[in-house]
Chain A
Amino acid sequence: MKLTRIAAAAAAALVMAGPALAELVFPSLSYRTGPYAANGIPFADGYADYFTLLNERDGGINGVKTRVVECETGYNTQKGVECYEATKGEGSLVYEPLSTGITYQLIPKASADGIPIHTGGYGRTSAKNGRVFKWVFNYPINYWDGASIAIKYILSQENGDLKGKKIALLYHNSAYGKEPIRTLQKLAEKYGYELMLLPVDHPGQEQKSQWLQIRRAKPDYVLMWGWGIMNPVAIQEAANIRYPMDHFIGIWWSGSENDVKPAGMKADGYKALSFHMPGDDFPLFKDIRKYVVDAGKASGTGEYVGTVLYNRGVYAAMLAAEAARKAMEIHGTKDITPAMMRDGMEALEMTNEKMAALGLPNFGPEFKVTCANHGGNGLGIVQQWDAKAGKWKVITDWIESDKSVIDPLIEEDSMAFAKENGITPRDCKE
């Protein structure tokens, strides 16, 4: 009897998997469980809520309804593969895995299946080279940009001289955390600072020894590439050893409200990079409150609207929706395929006028995707946590990364990938 029930369920699952017509499918490989859930939930909420808003307010994108298919990965690559296989048959237009590990897993698979991947601010940095990575996009910014922007910001703080300074990198000991090391080493050669590497193992709850080392070596600045539980623990530990918070700078994945709030007032002054604005002071968020949250259609509880990671989810969804709009425009059809979506992504251009029209004035950097450049211009900001107000404050203008250092590294890494996998780089005639 149990067997028949299983068979019936399996049969039903197969029937359900049939494609539905005339809708735009955006899979969301989210993680609302596991050690990274605190960060995964706001992002997934933002991503889903933006598409709900489009459906409720505008009736979809150019009149075509959108559908977000969520699949729980728990930040686990094996589950990520299962989710990818389960959702790709539904006409998925673009994957947004929000995990560098899963991104690495999906790059070859999705390229073979002809489905684009968008990894804004994470994933494989050298995917910026669109000549090699035809199906992968990481606009508007990548980790190496982040490393360069952090160093540029420190330079501006130290009057342009880093000779003899010591900078520590506290990183998640995984593909994600290791990404900036090479760039930071190159920059160390250029500016003459000393780089100190401090890996923290998954999930990152145990950092006593690393902070003891920081206490002993007294680096002038600490950079952090953390995610999940690692972030609040690090900020707490920094507070415990009384490390000056304004010399502690996190990457954009270490700069959300979840990360600083547990340390309370002690987190005051902590800095983090970002590639979009924090807060909910944008017309779009009023619409989200009106059409989505107050209408009871929010993906979560609605409590995260305006937090950093929620905004990032909204930003990612907005870029995906704009790319879909562009794809419809290029191909003159409302029923776009993943391949058309890719063309739309490659022709995407974000300007201040466009963002203002969408209700997000000056929310992110201006950039233009091209065949050769899938990664945008690498513009980031530095934001600082004001614990009294409980708000992130943007303290710099857009800072551009040092392309003279990053571009050769991207060329080298992407060409190594091309050689390993027998890819002939595309010819990009502008």
Chain B
Amino acid sequence: MAQGEIVAGCLAPHPPHLVYAENPEQNEPVAEGGWEQLRWGYERLRESLKGVDYDAIVILSPHWQTYVGTHFLGLENFQSLSVDPVFPNLFRYHYDMNVDIELAKQIHDKADEAGLAVRMMTNPDFRVDYGTITTGHMFRPEWDKPLVVISSNRSRAYYSVEVMQEMMIELGRVTREAILESGKKVVVLASNSLSHRHFTTESEIPEDMSKEHITSHAMHLWDMRIIDYMKSGQCQRIIDEMPEFTEQAIAETDGGAFTWLLSTLEVPDYPAILHGYGTIIGTGNAIVEWPVYQHKEA
């Protein structure tokens, strides 16, 4: 069997506003558009990966929050209605997604061997979190590739950013190992925003872009700093500054997805492609691709 590979890694944020603004048939509410900078960013990401062949998508979503270890979706198919508990007016999405159980179990087993607390989720009534669905839809609206869905262990809340990073670096390492051993070509997605201070009010028309902006200048400076590191291939500096970034920008990196992503990519030292940046109810969001397929070892 040929060795598997990670063909690309992406920062692919999940605010449900993006799906809402796209008006897909799966989503009940109807919008007049909005958040185009980010939606165009997703378009560019999809275009960038159009010619790249892969078998599965692995997502770590901050909105499947688990406190007792890390969990993996463990059934072949999930279908239901996902209603965002925070923005139910925007996101009521009928989903039908397939899971690569084999790969999920391989990552699970590797993580278990490495001493991480893990569990397969096999309850058929389980509703998949809206973060996974939003990222899944925006990344590949055809839903024609099986997914591996990994929960967000809240070790940052229980311990510290440092402990979270230790665990997520380890989870990223075993994720990579499992993918390489699987013989499959995989895209890995971290479904998180950058700075994450929300507005606490919503405009009468949610997609009214005259009301959209970053919550504060400090948040903007942090987001630009992290984006500069990504664009210039300095991901180790992101890892190094993650505690300050997470704390000061109230960043959604607290869910561990970003650290995990960088670890699966072995902390890239080559430039990432920034496909888009924009704010959603005040939070900072970047759509970023690490084109691993362009950096294969000879």
Chain B associates with chain A: no
